[in-house]
Structure 1
């Protein structure tokens, strides 16, 4: 039988919260206190792509309560608008490019929409919330001279507008991002041409020295040529340094762009597409370092230098004729062996990659579960798994290194053999009068320079294969479905009333044969308070995840205010829901950071009010740090009940119209739970409550109970009726405590 308790008479009166309308007004004011953001929101409506300020700033790395021009541009690009900053007077802004954002001297902003026939400017002011006419003479003194031009990004190959990021999605996301630095790589190639031409200076100087200067004792010529070679060497040093700098600049640009793109994908990926292993997922992201290193290391310069092998062979042929045939015979042998070993080496690299993922996965799992491992004595099991993964990875790495080393040694052997062959054949030509001594020395020097890049050919191919393997893994991640597709246009729902409908909903988790929910049909009215109860695995938490839009039904639809959740922007949806998860997750930082995670610049009074309602203040006031109390990863340093209180405060802070509580008090004692119920009761009046619990005392917060069993609704009705039916055994489900 479900036991209930009435804690109202035993617990002190909770702090009186502000009225709902006043609270929401404060939050709206918080979001509107950003002129550039409001201007961008106005422009999205103007261009037929309405987005709320919350959607526009979702995921942006904000360092203050307002966005700056740089984040304005970034936010605009994410919703399919191209923006750029220009410095122009009001007269230099023609009607053709309007509307344009005007940055004012007092850090405010407005949108110049149009000019009227009488010389008036039509300007949208965020502080007014509408368009007002103003004279140019009146506006000019406060205008900073900087404007942001905004226009839609037109995609002529798709039926709907796209964002900048759409251009780099799919398998081309990496190469098109690299292509953004094409001008830098072009300069790197030009530098390579000059460097390889400069490499001819010393051999030519040697040939002139032995053939002209020494026989004739031409000291003047010696000093002239020496000066010229010295200048060449100085410029060679400068250009090599510049080439290295350019590669680093291109690498840094790609690093920032691609790393941000990858992280955006991680945050935006659908839960159904999330890899089952967090460690393996992190290992896949780590492979980005392999790609970055390939394009910022000496490997890239080796690739660029490879075509110049033919230049040096041509010069050798010009100087000594048939001596070049020695190199022509050796080069195919080096290339052939290097290509031949790639067949087994490529298979080993792929296996080593997967073994590295497994090893990283067990490492992350061990770190996250270290307390449990120690507590249950699972050290031996985890150590066996770790040593097995490390052993397999080490064996694969050893085989890969051995094969690569054999190719390097073979190339080194042929390089030395080619040098000896050039010298032997060259001596023959010298003795027969077909080649000078200076020519022989020049050819010997050039032969070493020609074959040098091939000495790293096998390693280059191995790194290339490793990079391509990493790219394939990242492509798989980038091809995963996302919650907010750039081509999808969501309905604008900044504020929901709280009505939720399950219309013949069935759902099964990925790689599960059985349905977690089966043909669920129910409606929760706005402001209604409903509890979902049932045995373990009956589908209660799945209900919460579907309401949050974390998963989509396999059949049927979940609606909010009669709108399918799949048509509502996930940011707008979750902005209207205060969620307390079954497993409270806290981030490393402070208690205040965790409460205000979704509103990092919220006023301290709001944070403290939410903390008081949840009961967080009771334990933070017992420490000298207060709300700056340090919290470790996953909430280390706090008890299970304290973590739940912090997550409840986090849900309360935004004062949403809907609350989803999934076992919110499972780690609390009865007294703390009763106190929480008493504090929450007045603050949740008029709000929609979805409560998932096994605790009878929380049921006093709801008016209606839905009983689930095997993913189906087996009972639904007023609280008292359902509790009586459960007590009498008239509902066929497992015992509920």
Structure 2
């Protein structure tokens, strides 16, 4: 599992690490009631995420209050999670399984996982027998043997990300308010480079694969030599004892070859799985943490490419080993065939040229159909997702036939393109099989004339025939792998830009702490349009929202209310202008922490496929039971949760489909209130609630929010009882902005 900050890198397959972590979590549960004395002298317990942050502080990459500590008893994170956190802190993580006695001073700092589920941060090795550790209370010394005895063997070595400069304190980092935001240069990797990077940590395994392949190729010489000896030595002299000895020897060679092939197969799978885990982890982390403007507009745009990643990850190590071992071995075989068969060597050389030409022609002919197949596959997936997501609407509107017709047309085009693709590649495989046989025929014909001229023996001809077949099969496979890789790289080219996108961050990676945000928001000439659109959703918006202010945003549908809230929550980036938070550019704050301080409730309440309780609390700091009960009662969640047998353990289903629209909206509102934000940003918070519940929620909400700021976009007049100031928008512009009674007077309404 490799990568530059995208995933933790290591010398073992990701499954090995995940299995080890799972076993470790189980062992932690068993040890909770029976503490192990081995851990008593290792200093205060820590957590991998806390250790990463502590090291970032040591290198001045982060700020102490810009960190949410792990909850007590929080399970160990997976390698992808550790890598994402490390990247946000300007660190790069490499993991491996090793004895701590072999951890040199040059390999520190490192996070060491212990058997009790905690970790320790090793910052140096001042003496051979001792490590220097860093804990919550500072630096201290621990014996290498003591730490090694308690360790699991999993070590995360840490480096600074290339190009990541050392940060100063916030007051030194932040220049003038309008200072331009810069970021470290991002290296754009092609699809080929991404795959090679994913294999970077698998060097030792690839070396083992090369050794195994070389031995397999050498053992492959046993059968030709056996055949040559039998024809030239055994048969003429009826040497049956020699025959049995040769037969036993070649049988042992074949058994050894079978064992090596089995081991090579498992190694290939392990290396491919590790690379695939890295690539898929990198893609998943980019989907979750890429800036909003870099995300794909449709799932169908990336699914075919993401499905191809694992196949290419399996192909790449095979191709590397084949190039390193099979190509040189082919040259050696040609020399050997030339030595015993003379001009027979011309047959396989011409045959290889014909094989390459056949595969190249097939790839050229299949190229256009493959591009069409990819395009239609993306459309097919998107239609399928739209059909599943909107099945009720499709049935209600009678659009089923239309969707079926579209599906049939797409499938017809995709099926025909796939047929052409399979045809040309299948034809090249058949041609390759026939060419191999034709080369053998040519070798035999040439050999017969050589025998007639006393230039070689029958045994030598038999050996040459087997050697020709042995030489051509890997070359045929290699040629097929090369063109399969080229075709696969075209498929994942759609996801390569997303995988190259850096994770969203603030302040050139040196994000300011969001925990102290007071809630002042100012927009200066902000304009915005959605990706792929030319029409501006917001035009030259300038306004100031003071801490604790209660503001309602009104206007017709499509006037820009939701877009404005998304920009403030940094769920979208302005096309022009600047947004400030507490007199600092919004881009200087870590986006995830910013969204905790400016809690956003979207207009459409889409829940995660988790329990009701998890949907209310996931991603938040620990919430007290008193606060949880108060907010769930306020928003009406308690009304339906208390009447269900599962209570708050109720699985809500994908998108919250097991709840009604009003129930989903109650959950979404409760979630927004649960984190004690500096400012609440609510988009149509009561549109799906019945009148009675809406009146109750508004009355309770007015008491609950207190000094908390509120920005609410709504069409509902009762909701405006919560606000003192109204912003009236139309066609992306602010038409009126002022005290509620003055704006109501313009609209002809009573305050």
TM-score category by the smaller chain?
0.7 to 0.9
Deviation at 1:49, TM superposition (A): 0.9
Q: 1:724 to 1:576 in 2, by over 3 A?
A: same
Q: Alignment RMSD, CA only?
A: 4.0
Q: Distance in 1 between matches of 2:45 and 2:670?
A: 24
Match status 1:446 vs 2:460: no
Deviation at 1:310, TM superposition (A): 2.9
2:383 maps to which of 357, 362, 370: 362
Match status 1:252 vs 2:273: yes
Match status 1:673 vs 2:670: no
- Provide the secondary structure at the position in 2 that maps to 1:589: coil
Relative to structure 2, which stretch is displaced further, 539-548 or 595-604? Answer: 595-604
| Structure 2: gaps spanning 5 or more residues | 1-43, 126-130, 168-181
Partner of 2:262: 241
Partner of 1:50: 62
**Does the CA-based 8 Å contact 2:269-2:314 persist in structure 1?**
no
Deviation at 1:114, TM superposition (A): 11
- Provide the secondary structure at the position in 1 that maps to 2:495: helix
Partner of 2:409: 388
Match status 1:702 vs 2:723: yes
Deviation at 1:616, TM superposition (A): 0.2
**Does the CA-based 8 Å contact 2:234-2:242 persist in structure 1?**
yes
Deviation at 1:308, TM superposition (A): 3.2
**Does the CA-based 8 Å contact 1:346-1:465 persist in structure 2?**
no
2:160 maps to which of 146, 153, 156: 153
**Does the CA-based 8 Å contact 2:528-2:537 persist in structure 1?**
yes
Cα deviation digits, residues 42-78 of structure 1 (max 9, x gap): 43223111156876789xxx99625569776774455
Partner of 1:65: 74
- Provide the secondary structure at the position in 2 that maps to 1:181: helix
**Does the CA-based 8 Å contact 2:523-2:579 persist in structure 1?**
yes
Q: Distance in 2 between matches of 1:503 and 1:458?
A: 59
- Provide the secondary structure at the position in 2 that maps to 1:349: helix
Match status 1:80 vs 2:90: yes
Aligned counterparts, 1:650-665, within 5 A: 650-665=671-686
Deviation at 1:41, TM superposition (A): 3.2
Provide the aligned length of Structure 1 versus Structure 2. Answer: 681
Aligned counterparts, 1:455-470, within 5 A: 455-456=476-477, 459-470=480-491
Q: 1:207 to 1:106 in 2, by over 3 A?
A: closer
Q: 1:672 to 1:74 in 2, by over 3 A?
A: closer
Partner of 1:28: none
Deviation at 1:344, TM superposition (A): 2.6
Length-normalised TM-score, structure 2: 0.81
Q: 1:184 to 1:400 in 2, by over 3 A?
A: same
Deviation at 1:551, TM superposition (A): 1.6
Q: 1:475 to 1:110 in 2, by over 3 A?
A: closer
Partner of 1:623: 644
Q: 1:434 to 1:104 in 2, by over 3 A?
A: closer
- Provide the secondary structure at the position in 1 that maps to 2:515: coil
1:637 maps to which of 646, 655, 658: 658
2:632 maps to which of 591, 611, 621: 611
Higher relative contact order (CA 8 A, sep 6+): 1
1:212 maps to which of 222, 233, 243: 233
Length-normalised TM-score, structure 1: 0.83
Deviation at 1:293, TM superposition (A): 4.0
Match status 1:407 vs 2:428: yes
Partner of 1:353: 374
Q: Distance in 1 between matches of 2:183 and 2:68?
A: 13
Of the two, which has the highest radius of gyration?
A: 1
Q: Distance in 2 between matches of 1:408 and 1:164?
A: 48
Match status 1:181 vs 2:202: yes
**Does the CA-based 8 Å contact 1:531-1:705 persist in structure 2?**
yes
Q: 1:391 to 1:151 in 2, by over 3 A?
A: closer
**Does the CA-based 8 Å contact 2:506-2:588 persist in structure 1?**
no
Q: Distance in 2 between matches of 1:326 and 1:55?
A: 69
Partner of 1:5: none
Deviation at 1:643, TM superposition (A): 0.4
Q: Distance in 1 between matches of 2:183 and 2:737?
A: 45
Q: Distance in 1 between matches of 2:711 and 2:319?
A: 58
Q: Distance in 1 between matches of 2:474 and 2:72?
A: 47
Deviation at 1:411, TM superposition (A): 2.2
| Structure 1: gaps spanning 5 or more residues | 1-31, 116-120, 730-736
Match status 1:229 vs 2:250: yes
Q: Distance in 1 between matches of 2:285 and 2:747?
A: 47
Q: Distance in 2 between matches of 1:353 and 1:580?
A: 37
Deviation at 1:528, TM superposition (A): 0.8
Deviation at 1:467, TM superposition (A): 1.2
Aligned counterparts, 1:503-652, within 5 A: 503-599=524-620, 602=623, 606-652=627-673
Cα deviation digits, residues 154-184 of structure 1 (max 9, x gap): 63x6767999997896653332111221221
- Provide the secondary structure at the position in 1 that maps to 2:293: helix
Q: 1:78 to 1:237 in 2, by over 3 A?
A: farther
Q: Distance in 2 between matches of 1:414 and 1:142?
A: 62
Partner of 2:737: 716
Deviation at 1:315, TM superposition (A): 2.2
- Provide the secondary structure at the position in 2 that maps to 1:633: coil
Cα deviation digits, residues 13-35 of structure 1 (max 9, x gap): xxxxxxxxxxxxxxxxxxx9976
Deviation at 1:621, TM superposition (A): 1.3
Partner of 1:310: 331
Cα deviation digits, residues 394-418 of structure 1 (max 9, x gap): 1111111221222222222222222
Cα deviation digits, residues 188-245 of structure 1 (max 9, x gap): 1221111111111111111101111222232333333233222211211111111111
